[in-house]
Chains A and B, each alone.
Chain A
Amino acid sequence: MISIPTAVDVAALKETTLLNMGIFGLFVAVTMVIVLRASRNNKTAADYYAAGRSFTGSQNGTAIAGDYLSAASFLGITGAIAINGYDGFMYSIGFLVAWLVALLLVAELLRNTGKFTMADVLSFRLKQRPVRIAAAISTLAVCFFYLLAQMAGAGSLISLLLGISDWGGQALVIIVVGALMIMYVLIGGMKGTTWVQIIKAILLIAGAAVMTLWVLAIYGFNLSSLLGAAVDTANNPAVLNPGLQYGKTETSKLDFMSLGLALVLGTAALPHVLMRFYTVPTAKEARKSVVWSIWLIGLFYLFTLVLGYGAAALVGAATIKAAPGGVNSAAPLLAFHLGGPLLLGFISAVAFATILAVVAGLTITAAASFAHDIYASVIAKGKADADTEVKVARRTVVVIGVLAIVGGIFANGQNVAFLVALAFAVAASANLPTIIYSLFWRRFTTQGAIWSMYGGLGSAILLIAFSPVVSGAATSMIPGSNFAVFPLSNPGIVSIPLAFLLGWLGTVLDKKTEDPAKQAEMEVRSLTGVGAEKAVDH
């Protein structure tokens, strides 16, 4: 291949390390001050888990965008479009359309019936203990998968941005990221976490907007010429067509269907997204949050389309693949090509902030679920006072933080977007059927919930364990072994329908019925918002 005159000098990237660290340090300092200020009013459990329900719809919507647009979205999708063209774009469509499930079916009803966690809603009219335990277990499982993805992303990002390529150095940076995250969540609770996510969302969307306009300006604001340039650089017209990545075999086509199902049904079942709906005072604000996040996230994914093809045209797939960090380096390399070290430093700092903010959101969700659902409701049987519960939550934050650091060090090098897709599949299988049934199906029973949650969670994890992800392929987690009896790398197409089926079967085979008064209460509360927890006054 002819060398591209505009190609990025990867070696020059290392000289910007100090600048990257400086900009990132500034971000940490500014957010830490804000977190400290925000945490002054953290008194009750509602303050710690739900930020006193004091955020507005637009603030929460921005925070949701900050929580949702993870490193997988920014680095992963831009890279996927740069390398695989159209197939990368299809990822972002699934991630966006999924928000309609949250908007229409889940957000407001959930805000009206729960307090802090997903389990509050699921156990509302069913038997408290078994349903709460099952919901907490699936919350912890989804958070763990998602956390692993983010920490693994931190490792590969660092190799590019800070020029640290040895395993020990990357491990050290993962420890630093983890320690920072623990501090944010410990001190700031949900309020501090939300502010970190808001700041990060604004920086990320602004940064992406600047780069998008820049790329478009180079091509005279003509999308067609940008696409033409991407075809020229790749020397392959197929980058504009679907199928480059997933169209190879019948199995890979089916795998894409499975991925699409998991993406579109997973979002509305992600515990850390659901928990964000409790930080606003009313269901109307919850609706407003989703509307804000749909606009912000949609806009951002339109940017990634331009950025991805821009990286393909200006940097070139060959250079991206050869760079440290591989596919994930497309966006930073494009930033360097456009704006030199300063823009690269800014984009790198934003990418770090992204990981930090998402990891903080996941950690507080997992800690709240453990403290509120398992400790307060099951171990202490509802007798724990709020102070003890928050104390337990804070200790859980440290434990989860340490687990994430250790997991992240070992997951370092795994594909980020892919690990996130697994988290979506597990969430869609384990949580979504029970959420939908308990909100909309009067007859639904405890047995149906238990079958659906454990069946969905178990089948999703088992199918992953026996898939090419874990063994039997060159890119597997355990290379050199082969026990991959399930051919697809995403379990969604089997485990999601199975979980819906089990929820139905468990209910119709259940001889017991649930209390109709509880069902009436849940339905009336969910639709009218009567008695829903209001904002905490200070």
Chain B
Amino acid sequence: MGNDARTPDVAASADFEEVQATAQFQELRKRHRSFVFPMAAAFLLWYFAYVLLADYAVGFMSTKVWGNINIGLIMGLLQFVTTFAITGWYVSYCNRKLDPVAAEIRHGIEGHEFDKAATGVSGGAAGGAAK
């Protein structure tokens, strides 16, 4: 909008379609999606399985396991455990698999490797000169 005292956009001159087509970006996209989509499906299924059991299998959920602790309470607490576990897993996956690749691509764009003017020249060579 230009209505803000913002820093100039370092990526303003980048050809994003060129970046998008690179094997490196496709790999980043694949790594991101192959983690978040199955994980999202898994925790949603687990959550709705729990809600359905609590809703329609009251007898099963009320089964006492230890003292006054029943299956329902254990499954509820397990929802907390899985939420914390998925959070930790995602953070470690990002640190190992996503952040390094994202940083590399970002530096490439910031180094003007993908500028629109640089058509015809392969990304890496042009970037070397700009740096």
Task: Determine if B4 and A517 form an interchain contact, defined as CB atoms under 8 angstroms apart.
Answer: no
Task: Determine if A530 and B14 form an interchain contact, defined as CB atoms under 8 angstroms apart.
Answer: yes
Q: A241-B70, A530-B110 are in contact. Are A294 and B84 (CB under 8 A)?
A: yes
Task: Determine if A536 and B14 form an interchain contact, defined as CB atoms under 8 angstroms apart.
Answer: no
Task: Return the CB mask of B7-29 against A: 1 if under 8 Å, else 0.
Answer: 10111101011011000010011
Q: Is B40 an interface residue (CB 8 A)?
A: yes
Task: Determine if B19 and A524 form an interchain contact, defined as CB atoms under 8 angstroms apart.
Answer: yes
> Residues of A contacting B52 with CB < 8 Å?
257
Q: Is B3 an interface residue (CB 8 A)?
A: yes
> Residues of B contacting A533 with CB < 8 Å?
6-7
Residues 92-148 (chain A) with a chain B CB within 8 angstroms: 93-94, 96-97, 99-101, 103-105, 115
Q: Is A503 an interface residue (CB 8 A)?
A: no
Q: Is the interface of B mostly helix, strand, loop or mixed?
A: helix
Rounded to whole angstroms, the CA-CA distance of A301 and B112 in the bound complex is 48
Rounded to whole angstroms, the CA-CA distance of A524 and B9 in the bound complex is 14
Stretch at the interface among A342-350, A381-389, A476-484: A381-389
Which residue, of B20, B55, B87, has the highest number of chain A Cβ atoms within 10 A?
B55
Rounded to whole angstroms, the CA-CA distance of A90 and B5 in the bound complex is 46
Which residue, of B1, B94, B103, B106, has the highest number of chain A Cβ atoms within 10 A?
B1
Rounded to whole angstroms, the CA-CA distance of A263 and B4 in the bound complex is 35
Task: Determine if B55 and A44 form an interchain contact, defined as CB atoms under 8 angstroms apart.
Answer: no
Cβ 8 A contact of A104, one of B19, B36, B47, B48: B36
Q: A96-B80, A240-B68 are in contact. Are A376 and B25 (CB under 8 A)?
A: no
Rounded to whole angstroms, the CA-CA distance of A525 and B10 in the bound complex is 11
Q: Is B120 an interface residue (CB 8 A)?
A: no
Task: Determine if A264 and B47 form an interchain contact, defined as CB atoms under 8 angstroms apart.
Answer: yes
Task: Determine if B106 and A528 form an interchain contact, defined as CB atoms under 8 angstroms apart.
Answer: yes
Q: Is A22 an interface residue (CB 8 A)?
A: no
Stretch at the interface among A223-231, A355-363, A422-430: A223-231
**A162 shortest CB reach to chain B, Å:** 35
Rounded to whole angstroms, the CA-CA distance of A43 and B4 in the bound complex is 10
Q: Nearest CB to that of A108 among chain B residues?
A: B94
Please classify how large the interface on chain A is, using the bins under 10, 10 to 19, 20 to 34, 35 or more.
35 or more
Cβ 8 A contact of B11, one of A105, A517, A530: A530
Cβ 8 A contact of A242, one of B10, B39, B72, B105: B72
Residues 275-290 (chain A) with a chain B CB within 8 angstroms: 284, 287, 290
> Residues of A contacting B66 with CB < 8 Å?
224
Q: Is A192 an interface residue (CB 8 A)?
A: no
Rounded to whole angstroms, the CA-CA distance of A517 and B114 in the bound complex is 14
**B122 shortest CB reach to chain A, Å:** 18
Task: Determine if A298 and B83 form an interchain contact, defined as CB atoms under 8 angstroms apart.
Answer: yes
Residues 89-112 (chain B) with a chain A CB within 8 angstroms: 90-91, 94, 99, 102-103, 105-106, 109-110
Task: Determine if B67 and A224 form an interchain contact, defined as CB atoms under 8 angstroms apart.
Answer: yes
> Residues of A contacting B72 with CB < 8 Å?
86, 240-242
Task: Determine if B62 and A536 form an interchain contact, defined as CB atoms under 8 angstroms apart.
Answer: no
Rounded to whole angstroms, the CA-CA distance of A294 and B91 in the bound complex is 12
Residues 372-421 (chain A) with a chain B CB within 8 angstroms: 376-377, 382, 384-386, 389
> Residues of A contacting B90 with CB < 8 Å?
103-104
Cβ 8 A contact of B68, one of A96, A224, A257, A516: A224
Q: Is A28 an interface residue (CB 8 A)?
A: no
> Residues of B contacting A222 with CB < 8 Å?
67
> Residues of A contacting B86 with CB < 8 Å?
100, 104
**B84 shortest CB reach to chain A, Å:** 6
Q: A90-B54, A382-B1, A531-B9 are in contact. Are A97 and B43 (CB under 8 A)?
A: yes
> Residues of A contacting B33 with CB < 8 Å?
440
> Residues of A contacting B47 with CB < 8 Å?
93-94, 97, 260, 264
Cβ 8 A contact of B55, one of A240, A247, A290: A247
Rounded to whole angstroms, the CA-CA distance of A93 and B82 in the bound complex is 11
Task: Determine if B20 and A520 form an interchain contact, defined as CB atoms under 8 angstroms apart.
Answer: yes
Q: Is A195 an interface residue (CB 8 A)?
A: no
Q: Nearest CB to that of B36 among chain A residues?
A: A104
Starting from the known contacts A247-B55, A389-B3, 16 additional A-B residue pairs (CB-CB under 8 Å) come to: A45-B4, A89-B76, A90-B54, A93-B50, A93-B80, A104-B86, A225-B67, A228-B68, A260-B47, A284-B99, A301-B80, A385-B3, A386-B3, A524-B19, A528-B28, A530-B11
3 closest A-B pairs by CB? A224-B67, A531-B11, A227-B68
CB<8 Å pairs between A and B, sample of 16: A90-B54, A93-B47, A93-B80, A224-B67, A228-B67, A260-B48, A260-B51, A287-B94, A291-B91, A298-B80, A298-B83, A302-B80, A520-B20, A527-B28, A528-B25, A528-B103
Q: CB within 8 Å of B: which residues of A?
A: 43-46, 86, 89-90, 93-94, 96-97, 99-101, 103-105, 115, 222-225, 227-228, 231, 240-243, 246-247, 253, 256-257, 260, 264, 284, 287, 290-291, 294-295, 298, 301-302, 376-377, 382, 384-386, 389, 440, 516-517, 520-521, 523-525, 527-531, 533-534, 536
